């Protein structure tokens, strides 16, 4: 089970004292006061007990209402929903339940490297399906169908995407849904960045199609949209048979998500304006980093439509993204992530996170520009 290349670079970067860190995908905001205060009050009242493995009933009811209203996914909160330790916990558990040794799982590339680790732990094989910058890194339904074999049992989709910022349009997701039916495949859909959209991008949940819901597991998180990474809380919806099996596995691994984190999630749902405030800040940061990158010769940043990453093409500067990033770290103390850790299609790119403050972005871009000009 390989270590994430993202964490490898992040860990190495911590040795530098004057670091401009654009490596990790963690919002720099503190959890909003209405959420934190609600949790503080609840802890003062003694809220710190085991809950049902699937999560508190009041939280599950609130999440079901959110899914119906905002995602068009209609579920039974007692049978088709599980509160999880972040999106990570949901993804790992779903893949353990759905995929067996020898199974092939199609994953559009570039992809978040933890998908590889999760599949390896289940004994399944990740089959990359390359996407292109010309298509904004949006996966093609025909390419997925062509990649399927008799051993293929599933597809992992991530929209908005980490690392590319790609958002899969509704029509393309519907076409992928047709492939799922024709090839009899499961879909694990990671919607962690669903609230972070820009320009004319539209988020569409594949499981809102009732005919697809029965073969679709949809993962959500509070981490990115609400700046709640350390609370470790997410949720997953899907068919009762899958969610029931995931519940059993979660019962034997974590028992339940800590109750204070579940209180925080309920408070977050009651304070959805927090998401809008965070989104507005990311919008400004996105424009700043794109403006800076577009002015650097040899760099093609593209225009991500979701999440908070820029997947910049540096192939005119270097053909080895790992070596380039390590040199950038050693000589300029700028931390970014080499595109190669996101699969072979990612080579020739580097990922910058703009989940940090504008001063850090400016400092990193100043140093990056000097490093490129000095080559």
What region does 184 belong to: left with phi over 0, alpha with psi -120 to 50, or beta?
A: left
Burial 67-78 (b: 16+ CB within 10 A, else e): beeebebebebe
338: helix, strand or coil = strand
Q: Under CATH, which architecture does the 50-270 domain have?
A: 3-Layer(aba) Sandwich (3.40)
> What angle, rounded to 10 degrees, do the helices at 240-251 and 86-98 form?
110
Comparing CA positions, the residue from 362, 325, 327 lying closest to residue 163 is 325
Q: CA–CA separation, 197 vs 199, rounded Å?
A: 7
Tell whether the model's pLDDT for residue 3 goes beyond 90: no
Averaged pLDDT, 94-121: 97
CATH class name, domain 5-31+274-373: alpha beta
Averaged pLDDT, 351-362: 98
The pLDDT tens digits for 288-330 are 999 999 999 999 999 999 999 999 999 999 999 999 999 999 9
Give φ, ψ of 263 to 5 degrees.
-60, -40
Asked if residue 160 has a cis previous peptide bond (ω within 30° of 0), the answer is yes
The pLDDT tens digits for 325-341 are 999 999 999 999 999 99
| pLDDT > 90 fraction of the chain, expressed in percent and rounded | 94
The pLDDT tens digits for 262-280 are 999 999 999 999 999 999 9
350: helix, strand or coil = strand
Comparing CA positions, the residue from 127, 133, 194 lying closest to residue 156 is 127
Q: CA–CA separation, 6 vs 8, rounded Å?
A: 5
Looking only at the bridges linking them, the beta strands covering 309-313 and 234-237 are unpaired
The answer to whether the beta carbons of residues 106 and 127 sit under 8 Å apart is yes
| pTM metric for this prediction | 0.96
- At 325 the pLDDT is 96
The two structure tokens encoding residue 24: 């990790």
- At 82 the pLDDT is 98
The two structure tokens encoding residue 9: 């670079």
The two structure tokens encoding residue 317: 């500067």
- At 164 the pLDDT is 98
Those residues whose C-beta lies under 8 Å from the C-beta of residue 279, and which sit 6 or more positions away, are: 195, 196, 225
Burial 28-40 (b: 16+ CB within 10 A, else e): ebebbeebeebbe
Q: CA–CA separation, 293 vs 363, rounded Å?
A: 13
Those residues whose C-beta lies under 8 Å from the C-beta of residue 309, and which sit 6 or more positions away, are: 25, 162, 163, 164, 165, 351, 352, 353, 354
Q: CA–CA separation, 177 vs 215, rounded Å?
A: 10
- At 374 the pLDDT is 75
Tell whether the model's pLDDT for residue 21 goes beyond 80: yes
- At 13 the pLDDT is 87
The answer to whether the beta carbons of residues 211 and 47 sit under 8 Å apart is no
Domain boundaries, the chain: 5-31+274-373, 50-270
Averaged pLDDT, 228-240: 98
Burial 323-346 (b: 16+ CB within 10 A, else e): ebbeebbeebbbbbbbbbbbbebb
């Amino acid at each position: 089970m390989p270590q994430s290349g993202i964490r490898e670079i992040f860990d190495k970067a911590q040795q530098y004292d004057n670091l401009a860190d654009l490596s990790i995908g963690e919002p720099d905001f503190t959890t909003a006061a209405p959420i934190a205060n609600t949790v503080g009050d609840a802890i003062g009242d003694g809220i710190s007990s085991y809950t049902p493995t699937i999560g508190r009933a009041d939280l599950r009811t609130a999440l079901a209402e959110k899914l119906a209203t905002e995602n068009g996914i209609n579920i039974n909160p007692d049978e088709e929903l599980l509160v999880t330790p972040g999106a990570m916990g949901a993804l790992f558990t779903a893949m353990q339940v759905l995929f067996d040794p020898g199974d092939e799982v199609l994953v559009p590339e570039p992809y978040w490297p933890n998908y590889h680790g999760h599949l390896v732990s289940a004994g399944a094989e990740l089959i990359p399906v390359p996407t292109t910058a010309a298509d904004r890194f949006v996966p093609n339904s025909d390419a997925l169908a062509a990649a399927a074999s008799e051993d293929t049992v599933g597809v992992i989709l991530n929209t908005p995407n980490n690392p590319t910022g790609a958002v899969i349009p509704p029509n393309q997701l519907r076409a992928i849904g047709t492939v799922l039916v024709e090839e009899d495949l499961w879909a694990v859909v990671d919607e962690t960045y669903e609230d972070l959209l820009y320009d004319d991008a539209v988020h569409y949940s594949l499981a809102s199609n009732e005919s697809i819901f029965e073969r679709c597991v949809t993962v959500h998180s509070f981490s990115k949209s609400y700046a709640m990474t350390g609370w470790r809380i997410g949720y997953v919806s899907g068919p009762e048979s899958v969610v029931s099996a995931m519940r059993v596995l979660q019962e034997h691994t974590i028992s339940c998500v800590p109750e204070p984190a579940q209180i925080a999630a309920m408070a977050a749902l009651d304070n959805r304006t927090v998401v809008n405030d965070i989104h507005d800040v990311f919008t400004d940061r996105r424009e700043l980093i794109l403006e800076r990158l577009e002015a650097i010769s040899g760099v093609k940043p593209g225009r991500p439509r979701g999440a908070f990453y820029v997947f910049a093409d540096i192939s005119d500067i270097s053909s080895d993204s790992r070596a380039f990033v390590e040199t950038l770290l050693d000589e300029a103390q700028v931390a970014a992530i080499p595109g190669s850790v996101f699969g072979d299609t990612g080579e020739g790119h580097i990922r910058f996170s703009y989940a940090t403050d504008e001063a850090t972005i400016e400092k990193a871009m100043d140093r990056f520009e000097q490093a490129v000009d000095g080559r």
